[in-house]
Amino acid sequence: MSTTIYKIMTEKELKTFQNSGVFEGSPLDQQDGYIHCSASIEQTLKIISKFFQGQKNLKRVEINPDGLDVRLEISPRSGITYPHVYQYIPLDKVTHIEDLS
């Protein structure tokens, strides 16, 4: 696995994350039982175009996966392997935040 995984967050999700110190997942993450992430910038761009079309104030959060329960799993919808995080993500795992606006 890469040394970085990526999570797209809305500005509101990021502020909640920064205030609480842990990311508990988006509503979709919570519904699916894990936090959806991507392993590359290319995967991130595909996710944005598919799930975040037209949304503003998006953030790409880079996360150090060391010590997290990250599983590489194949998406049944696309057949592509993505990293899924099976725990809350602590704020100290964030290595960089990029504004995608």
Mean pLDDT of the chain: 93
DSSP 8-state class, residue 88: P
Query: What is the predicted pLDDT for the residue at 101?
Result: 76
Query: What is the predicted pLDDT for the residue at 78?
Result: 83
Cα–Cα distance for residue pair 68/90, rounded to 1 Å: 9
pLDDT > 60? residue 2 = no
3-state secondary structure 6-73: EEEEEHHHHHHHHHHCEECCCHHHHHHCCEECECCHHHHHHHHHHHCCCCCCEEEEEECCCCCCEEEE
| Cβ count within 10 A of residue 96 | 11
User: Residue 94: which pLDDT band, with cuts at 50, 70 and 90?
Assistant: very high
Query: What is the predicted pLDDT for the residue at 86?
Result: 98
pTM to 2 decimal places: 0.91
